[in-house]
Structure formats: structure tokens, C-alpha cells
């Protein structure tokens, strides 16, 4: 009965034969490896994103006036709405991670070499689209982070010479970040990029099937354009096995494991945000990008200002060009990572760089602590045994927001140096000069401090040295003025 | 099949069909491109570049810097709260004002005013500005963005319909002042 129905459909669709051919196409036994499961996993998470995305669209309203409230409704009012949001959010993180791992694996296994160059190039576009989805998705979570994140995007875009202002308006859909901005990011996130993704994924998959899965790289088995195809053909004939069931079970296990992991993260950590309402009149906010763009946030604060615009505008072009040109620069030769030390080092270097930047961005030492001046009092040990003048100085130190950038007793901002032992580093005159004139990335406070305040502040700073170490002093000044050791060498 | 060197009737019709479709596509592209570029074209400028009020001069004590907010002159029904924007108003003396955008010149994060140290500080990458909006330290290359302003019948007015970005027509402090 079932086979009769099946036959009825196949007579009309005529798909059974090609599907069987695809399923049973021979793959090298060596390619049935746990290392080869990331592509399928990426596809699986992409399908999960489509499904959860459609579910979210049942409730979500892409309107600047209502998006935030509809997210709140999803989180709190709609049954299991929070879980679908969490799945979609975590699915996005997993998708970026898996796509990156897949890419590194393909790179290290030399799978981008002849004849799979175009598969790699399409893959580069898939990576860019995945990142585009991640960014536009962050915008659809229309909260304070989304609002100010758009502002940062606009700021970067506006630096493009000549057409910058026009690009900004095109991106925002008008002169400011408003309803039209959200609507166009909605169109990108829901129609344009997913449509392209589906098309590119299909081409990517088609090529994997047509060209065959990359054979396990053996050191010394060198790719040559003239001979590779026949070698690969011989290999699959001699030592091949049908993809189904020989290799596919590993893909299936890993895909299920990844889905389970996304579900577990969603269940345990819950949905992302939304943070505060996207109201630009609320400026008490510290916008931060989502996890996968944290490294960029770090880079933007650590680059010398003069290098920023060139790096922002030229950097991405160079990186994308290099990725696209890679299969043409090394389309032949060794595949094995054992014989490609520079490839391995490049991956390590990029991973360490991105990891370091991401780690730094998690606690952002370059950001002033905006509340430190009122929330982090001067620790007690710095006030013990001080004179009235020095205590007055500690008050000035606190009231003039010095703590927002300088820490004492490891509390306060890290934008400037910690001042626990500043008196050892700077003499009285140097302290006065630094406070009044600023410099070395510190604002000048000359106009905002009365002479009395400066005297008190410097008197306090002079007490900041370890017990066993004297404060720095200007010996020549003592000789010239003949007034003996400076008064401020205190306990 | 016809001879390759001569154009057959069918071949001609196919080519004509391609040409016809091309013409239709070009004709349709005009409104489509026009629609997409409508965000850039200047038709709306009349609306969003009009002057908006920040309130009477008496709202701003002399010598102080206060946060004010205004509604963008160009509002669409789906904008919600996003059209309400904050700005820093510094009344120097009398009718002498400076109105700064809250957006940091570096990457647009909202700067906060600290009257005690007379500094604007940015929470993102640590930019700082003096009370007159000029750059004090950090990654910004120039001072804060300043909106064109005027005092009309005792009301502070600014022209602020565009998101301030480094290349927008707003003048950052320290480059040139756009309005007395």
C-alpha cells in the first residue's frame, strides 16, 4: 500500500532516482570522520533559525513604536514565547560559531583547493551573510543596545569618503534612527538575507555533492590540477563507501547534539534581552555589542585614533578579498596541515587575537566607570593618619570624578593608571602639572580646580605611596630653594 | 534548424523578446530605484531641517549645562519614542548658548555631563570633552557636534533633524561654528 502510494508520487515527481543517487554517492572512507560534521551542523542550525524565526514573526511587530513591547509580550505573556526567543538567540550564536569552526576545518584540511575553489568562495559569502544575520537580528531586538549599535554603525559608515552621508541615510531609511530603520533591517533579516542564504546554501551543497567530499589530507599527497580528479575518482572507487549510511550517521548524531545544546542553553540561560526601551532621551546607558562583535568593540577603543578610519574602511575589504582569493593563491599543493605551518600559525594568530580582544571587551578597561565617583569611596587605608588638608584633597579627588578613570585599592575606572602609588612615580611639581594641564590622554583640570582645591588634591596624591617607599621628590629643587626635604615625605 | 549566418524568424523573435523585456525592466527600475533612494533625496529635508524648540531661555540657568530633549520635526507613525532626542544645552550668559548633540564624535555613544569636573564623558571608549564641547581626551578626533541654534522670542531653537555623524553637515566644536 505504502509503496503503491510512493510509486504514484514518483511516477509524477521522478525524484526517487536522483535522491538515491545523491544518498548513495561514494565518499572516501577517510572522509567519514567526526571532523566532517560541521557543515551539516551549520545547515541544521540554519533550519532551526528559519523555524524559530517564523514562530517569532507570529508575535513580533517590526514597528519602532511596538517592537520593544512585542518582545516583552513574547518574554512574559505568550506561552513559551521566551523559549522560542531564547532558541533563536542561542541558535544565532551557535550558527556563527559553527560556521567559523567549519571554515577553519576546511582551511586546515586544504578542502578549498582544486576543484573546490568555488565551494569555498560561496562559503565566504555564506559567512558574510551569517554575520549580516547576526547584526540585523541584534537590531530587531529593538532595545537600547540596538539603538546605539545602529548609531555606531552609522558613525562607521559615515566615514566613507564622499558618499558617507548618503550611505548613512540609506542605511537608516531617513535622517535619524527611527521606525523606518527597524523596518528595513526587518526586511533584510527576514526576506533579503535569508533568501540569499537559501540560494547560496543550495549552490554550496550542490557543489559538495557534484565534486565529492574532500578526501582526508595525507602529508605528501599533493593536489595537482592535471591529476587530482582522476586520483579522487580512483580513491572513491578503491576505498569508497556510500554516503548513506556509511558517513551520514555521524552528521546526524552531531546535528542532534547541537540542537540539544542550543535547547539546553535556551532553557538554562533564557532569551537575550531586550534591555531598556529604545528611547534616545535615556542616556544613562552603556551600549555593548553582541558577543560576536565584541572584538570589534575592543579594536575600536584600542586603535590609535588616526588609524581608525583607514582600518575600519580598508580592513574589511582586504580581509574579504584575501578570503576570496585564497583558493587562487594556493589552489594546488599540500593539503595536510602537517605540511602547512603558516596556515596553522595564521589560524592560531587570528584565534588568539579575536579571543584576546573579546576577553578584553568583556570588562572594557578603556571605559570610564561612570558611577565610580559616587559609588566607590576612597578606601579607608588611604585616609588613615592623614591631615585635614589631605582629607580635603581626597574629597576633591572624589567629587571631581577622578575615580571614574583612576582606581584606588582596585576599585574605580581603569581608563587611566591606578593611583595607589602615584606619589612614587611623580614629584609634587609633576603632579600639579599633570592635574592642571592634563596630557597623556588625561583632560586638563586647570579651569575646573581652584588653587586651593589643586593644593589639597596634590597633598592627598602625595600620600599615595607604599609604606616602605618614600614619595618621589625633586632633589635639585631642594638644593636651589634650600628648604630641605619636601614636606610631603610622610608616613 | 536554420543556417547560423542568417537570422531565422524564431531567432529574431527571441531577440526581440529579450529586448522588450529589457525595456520593461529598465522602465520598472526607475520607480524602484527612486523608491529605494527616497531616504537620500532631499525632498524631506524641508521637514526635518526645520527649527525645533527646546523651551524658554529661563529653563536654562546661566553658566550651567542642562539636558534637554526635543521631538524630531519629521515624524512617521511607526517611529515611537525614537524621534525624541536628547541634547546638552549650555547657557553661557544671556542669549549666548551652545547646544551639543549627546552623540560622541567618536562612534556616537551618548556622552554624560559631569558638572563637578566640567567634563562630558563617553561610556563606550572613554572620550572626554570640556564644557565648551572641545575635545579633552580619548579616541575622538574633534569636539562634540554642535547644533545650529538661535533664540527667538525668548525660546531656544535648534536645527537638529539629522543624526550627527562625523560627515553630516553639523559642525563639530573646534572646526567651525555654524551659527552665532
State residue A142's pLDDT score.
94
Alpha carbons A186 and A169: distance in angstroms, whole number:
16
Instruction: Provide the shortest C-alpha distance from residue B88 to chain A (in Å).
Output: 11
* Same domain? B19 vs B96: no
Which has the higher per-residue pLDDT, B87 or B73? Answer: B87
pLDDT in tens, B132-162: 999 998 888 889 999 999 999 999 999 888 8
Q: Please tell me the distance in Å from B7's CA to the nearest CA on chain A.
A: 36
- CA-to-CA distance for A46 and A55, rounded, in angstroms? 14
CB contact under 8 A, B74 and A175: yes
Count of Cβ atoms closer than 10 Å to residue A404 Cβ: 27
Match 585614533 to its residue by C-alpha cell: A305
Kindly determine whether residue A280 and residue B141, on different chains, have CB atoms separated by under 8 Å: no
What average pLDDT does the segment A313-331 reach?
Answer: 94
Model pTM?
0.89
How many of the other CB atoms lie within 10 Å of CB of A105? 17
- pLDDT band per the 50, 70, 90 thresholds, residue A377: confident
Is B20 buried (19+), middle (13-18) or exposed (0-12) by CB count in 10 A?
exposed
The angle, 0 to 180 degrees and rounded to 10, between the axes of the packed helices A81-108 and A38-57 is 150
Mutate: best of B101, B119, B120, B125, partner A, most A CBs <10 A: B125
Evaluate whether A159 touches B142 at the Cβ level (below 8 Å). Answer: no
The full set of domain ranges for chain A reads: 22-363, 372-481
Q: Residues of B with CB below 8 A from A159's CB?
A: 166-167
Residues B142 and B166 in one domain: yes
Task: Give the domain range for residue B89.
Answer: 47-172
- pLDDT tens by residue, A107-144: 999 999 999 999 999 999 999 999 999 999 999 999 99
If asked whether residues B100 and B122 sit together in one domain, one would say yes
Distances (CA, A) of A102 to A35, A42, A46, A196, A377: 9, 8, 14, 20, 49
Q: Are A76 and A67 in contact (CB under 8 A)?
A: no
Confidence of residue B166 (pLDDT cuts 50, 70, 90): confident
Determine the distance in angstroms separating the CA of B107 from the nearest CA of chain A, rounded to an integer.
Answer: 5
Stretch (H or E) spanning B172? strand B171-172
Tens digits of per-residue pLDDT, A6-21? 999 999 999 999 888 8
Residue B107 lies inside a defined structural domain of this protein: yes
Contact A64 B118 (CB under 8 A): no
Give the model's pLDDT for residue B171: 55
Residue B48 pLDDT: 79
Q: Flag whether B113 is in a domain.
A: yes
Same domain? For B78 and B19 the reply is: no
Asked whether residue B121 falls in the same domain as residue B34, the answer is: no
Q: Could you tell me how many CB contacts below 8 A there are between chain A and chain B?
A: 205
How far lies A113's CA from each of A106, A117, A376, B36, B55, in Å? 10, 6, 57, 40, 67
- What pLDDT, on the 0 to 100 scale, is given for residue A380? 85
Average pLDDT, chain B: 86
With contact defined as beta carbons under 8 Å apart, do A86 and A266 qualify? yes
Q: CA of B81, closest CA in chain A: separation in Å?
A: 5
Averaged pLDDT of chain A: 91
Contact B166 A286 (CB under 8 A): no
For residues B43-69, one letter each, b for 16 or more C-beta atoms within 10 angstroms of the residue's C-beta and e for the rest, the string is ebeeebbeebebbebeebeeeebbebb
- What is the total count of domains within chain B? 2
Render A449-475 in DSSP notation, one character per residue.
S-HHHHHHHHHHHTT-S-TTSPPP--H
CATH number of the domain encompassing residue B145: 2.102.10.10
For residues A247-272, give the mean pLDDT. 95
Give CA–CA dist A167/B40, Å, rounded.
Answer: 8
pLDDT tens digit sequence for A413-448? 888 899 988 999 999 889 999 999 988 889 898 888
**Chain B residues whose beta carbon lies within 8 Å of the beta carbon of residue A442:** 137
Do B79 and A178 lie within an 8 Å CB cutoff? yes
**B83 vs A176: CB contact, 8 Å cut-off?**
yes
Q: Is the pLDDT of residue A370 over 90?
A: no
Nearest Cα residue in chain A from B105: A155
How far apart, in whole angstroms, are the C-alpha atoms of residue A303 and residue A329? 30
- What ipTM describes this predicted complex? 0.87
Instruction: Report d(CA A410, CA A422) in Å as an integer.
Output: 14
pLDDT at A7: 92
* Same domain flag for B53 and B132: yes
Shared-domain flag, residues B32 and B86: no
**CATH of A372-481 among 3.40.50.1820, 1.20.1260.10, 1.10.760.10, 1.10.357.10:** 1.10.760.10
| Mutation site, A146, A167, A188, A281, interface B, largest B CB count within 10 A | A281
Q: Are A255 and A95 in contact, with CB atoms under 8 Å apart?
A: no
Nearest CA among A417, A118, A141 for reference residue A278: A141
Q: Is the pLDDT of residue A487 over 90?
A: no
- The rounded percent of chain A whose pLDDT value lies above 70 is 98
Same domain membership, residue B74 and residue B28 = no
Q: Are residues B97 and B72 part of one domain? A: yes
Minimum-distance CB partner of A175 among B48, B117, B126? B48
Q: What are A260's three cell numbers? A: 540539544
Kindly determine whether residue A366 and residue B126, on different chains, have CB atoms separated by under 8 Å. Answer: yes
Chain-chain contact of B123 with A286 (C-beta, under 8 angstroms): yes
For B:133-172, CB contacts with A below 8 A are: 136-141, 161-163, 165-169
CATH architecture of A22-363: Up-down Bundle (1.20)
Yes or no: say if B59 and B66 are a contact pair by the CB < 8 Å rule: yes
Based on C-alpha coordinates, what's the Rg of chain A?
A: 30
pLDDT tens for A190-205 read: 999 999 999 999 999 9
Local structure of B46: helix, strand or coil:
helix
B103 chain-A contacts, CB cut-off 8 A: 151, 155
Confidence at B174, pLDDT banded by 50, 70, 90: low
Which pLDDT score is estimated for A485? 52
List CB contacts (< 8 A) between A283 and chain B.
67, 86, 102, 110-112
Per the CB < 8 Å rule, is A447 touching B130? yes
pLDDT for res B177: 39
Judged by CB atoms closer than 8 Å, whether chains meet at A300 and B139 is answered as yes
Chain A residues lying within 8 Å of B88, measured CB to CB: none
What pLDDT, in 10s, does the model give residues A143-167? Answer: 999 999 999 999 999 989 889 889 9
What percent of chain A stands above pLDDT 90?
57
> What pLDDT score does A484 carry?
53
**Residues of A in Cβ contact (< 8 Å) with B122:** 368
B109 touches chain A (CB under 8 A): yes
Does residue B77 lie within any of the structural domains? yes
Over the stretch B11-20, which tens digit does the pLDDT of each residue have?
A: 999 999 999 9
Q: Give yes or no for a contact between A55 and A33, defined as CB atoms under 8 angstroms apart.
A: no
Cell (9 digits) for B140: 575622538
Q: What percent of chain B has pLDDT over 70?
A: 88
Domain A22-363 shares a fold with domain A372-481: no
Residue of chain B whose Cα is closest to the Cα of A363: B124
- pLDDT exceeds 80 at position B6: no
pLDDT band for position B64 (cuts 50, 70, 90): very high
The pLDDT value given to residue A91 = 97
Among A75, A121, A129, which residue's Cα sits nearest to residue A272?
A75
Which spans in B37-180 are helix H?
Answer: 45-48
The CB-side HSE value for A430 (13 A sphere, CA atoms) comes to 12
User: A443 CA to chain B: closest CA distance, Å?
Assistant: 5
B178 has a pLDDT exceeding 70: no
The distance of A375 to chain B (nearest Cα, Å) reads: 15
- Rounded to whole angstroms, the Cα distance separating A100 from A295 reads 15
Are residue B27 and residue B109 in the same domain, yes or no?
Answer: no
The predicted pLDDT at position A470 comes to: 86
Per the listing, cell 548618503 goes with A166
What contacts B161, CB < 8 A, 6 or more positions away?
A175, A176, B47, B48, B49, B50, B52, B72, B73, B74
pLDDT over 90 (residue A478): no
8 Å CB contact of A283 and B102: yes
Shortest distance between the Cα of B55 and any Cα of chain A, in A, equals 16
**Sheet containing B135-137: order of strands:** B112-114, B119-121, B128-130, B135-137
Nearest to B168 among A68, A158, A402 (CB): A158
Domain-located, residue B3: no
Yes or no, beta carbons of B123 and A281 under 8 Å apart:
no
Contact flag B106-A155 (C-beta cutoff 8 Å): yes
Q: What was the pLDDT predicted at B141?
A: 86
Under 8 Å between Cβ of B85 and A372: no
pLDDT attached to residue A439: 83
Substitution target from A435, A443, A448, A457 for chain B, most B beta carbons within 10 A = A443
**pLDDT for the residue numbered A49:** 97
- B170 pLDDT band, cuts 50/70/90, is low
Amino acid at each position: 500500500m505504502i509503496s503503491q502510494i510512493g510509486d504514484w508520487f514518483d511516477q509524477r515527481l521522478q525524484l526517487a532516482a536522483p535522491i538515491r543517487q545523491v544518498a548513495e554517492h561514494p565518499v572516501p572512507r577517510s572522509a567519514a570522520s567526526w571532523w566532517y560534521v560541521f557543515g551539516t551542523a551549520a545547515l541544521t542550525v540554519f533550519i532551526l533559525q528559519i523555524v524559530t524565526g517564523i514562530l517569532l514573526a507570529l508575535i513580533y511587530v517590526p514597528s519602532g513604536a511596538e517592537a520593544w513591547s512585542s518582545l516583552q509580550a513574547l518574554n512574559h505573556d505568550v506561552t513559551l514565547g521566551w523559549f522560542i526567543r531564547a532558541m533563536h538567540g542561542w541558535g544565532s550564536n551557535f550558527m556563527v560559531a559553527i560556521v567559523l569552526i567549519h571554515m577553519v576545518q576546511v582551511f586546515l584540511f586544504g578542502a578549498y583547493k582544486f576543484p573546490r575553489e568555488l565551494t569555498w568562495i560561496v562559503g565566504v559569502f555564506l559567512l558574510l551573510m551569517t554575520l549580516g544575520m547576526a547584526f540585523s537580528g541584534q537590531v530587531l531586538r529593538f532595545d537600547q543596545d540596538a539603538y546605539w549599535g545602529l548609531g555606531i554603525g552609522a558613525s562607521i559608515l559615515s566615514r566613507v569618503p564622499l558618499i558617507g552621508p548618503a550611505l548613512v541615510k540609506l542605511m537608516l531609511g531617513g535622517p535619524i534612527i527611527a521606525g523606518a530603520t527597524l523596518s528595513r533591517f526587518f526586511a533584510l533579516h527576514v526576506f533579503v538575507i535569508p533568501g540569499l542564504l537559501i540560494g547560496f546554501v543550495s549552490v554550496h551543497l550542490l557543489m559538495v555533492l557534484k565534486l565529492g567530499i574532500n578526501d582526508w589530507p595525507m602529508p605528501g599527497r599533493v593536489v595537482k590540477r592535471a591529476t587530482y580528479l582522476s586520483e579522487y575518482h580512483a580513491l572513491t572507487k578503491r576505498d569508497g563507501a556510500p554516503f548513506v549510511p556509511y558517513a551520514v550517521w555521524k552528521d546526524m548524531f552531531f546535528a542532534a547534539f547541537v540542537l540539544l545544546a542550543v535547547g539546553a542553553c535556551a532553557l538554562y540561560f533564557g532569551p537575550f534581552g531586550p534591555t531598556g526601551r529604545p528611547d534616545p532621551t535615556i542616556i544613562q546607558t552603556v551600549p555593548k555589542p553582541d558577543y560576536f562583535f565584541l572584538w570589534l568593540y575592543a579594536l575600536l577603543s584600542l586603535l590609535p585614533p588616526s588609524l581608525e578610519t583607514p582600518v575600519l574602511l580598508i580592513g574589511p575589504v582586504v580581509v574579504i578579498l584575501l578570503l576570496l582569493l585564497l583558493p587562487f593563491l594556493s589552489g594546488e599543493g599540500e593539503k595536510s596541515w602537517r605540511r602547512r605551518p603558516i596556515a596553522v600559525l595564521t589560524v592560531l594568530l587570528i584565534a588568539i587575537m579575536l579571543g584576546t580582544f573579546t576577553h578584553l571587551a568583556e570588562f572594557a578597561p578603556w571605559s570610564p566607570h561612570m558611577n565610580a565617583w559616587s559609588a566607590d569611596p576612597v578606601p579607608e587605608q588611604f585616609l588613615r593618619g592623614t591631615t585635614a588638608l589631605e582629607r580635603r584633597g581626597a574629597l576633591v579627588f572624589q567629587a571631581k570624578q577622578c575615580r571614574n578613570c583612576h582606581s584606588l585599592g582596585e576599585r574605580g575606572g581603569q581608563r587611566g593608571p591606578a593611583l595607589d602609588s602615584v606619589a612614587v612615580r611623580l614629584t609634587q611639581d609633576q603632579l600639579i602639572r599633570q592635574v592642571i594641564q592634563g596630557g597623556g590622554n588625561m583632560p586638563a583640570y586647570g579651569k575646573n580646580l581652584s588653587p586651593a582645591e589643586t593644593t589639597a588634591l596634590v597633598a592627598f596624591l602625595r600620600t599615595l605611596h607604599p609604606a616602605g617607599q618614600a614619595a618621589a621628590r625633586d632633589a635639585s629643587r631642594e638644593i636651589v630653594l634650600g628648604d630641605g626635604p619636601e614636606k610631603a615625605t610622610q608616613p | 534548424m536554420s543556417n547560423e549566418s542568417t537570422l531565422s524568424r524564431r531567432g529574431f523573435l527571441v531577440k526581440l523578446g529579450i529586448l522588450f523585456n529589457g525595456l520593461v525592466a529598465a522602465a520598472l527600475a526607475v520607480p524602484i530605484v527612486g523608491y529605494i533612494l527616497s531616504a537620500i533625496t532631499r525632498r524631506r529635508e524641508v521637514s526635518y531641517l526645520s527649527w525645533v524648540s527646546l523651551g524658554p531661555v529661563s529653563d536654562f540657568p546661566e553658566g550651567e549645562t542642562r539636558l534637554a530633549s526635543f521631538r524630531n520635526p519629521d515624524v512617521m507613525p511607526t517611529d515611537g519614542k525614537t524621534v525624541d532626542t536628547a541634547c546638552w544645552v549650555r547657557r553661557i550668559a544671556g542669549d549666548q548658548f551652545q547646544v551639543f548633540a549627546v552623540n560622541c564624535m567618536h562612534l556616537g555613544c551618548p556622552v554624560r555631563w559631569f558638572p563637578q569636573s566640567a567634563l562630558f564623558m563617553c561610556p563606550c571608549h572613554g572620550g572626554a570633552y570640556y564644557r565648551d564641547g572641545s575635545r579633552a581626551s580619548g579616541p575622538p578626533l574633534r569636539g562634540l557636534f554642535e547644533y545650529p541654534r538661535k533664540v527667538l522670542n525668548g525660546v531656544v531653537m535648534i536645527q537638529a533633524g539629522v543624526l550627527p555623524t562625523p560627515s553630516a553637515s553639523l559642525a563639530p566644536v573646534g572646526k567651525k561654528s555654524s551659527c552665532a
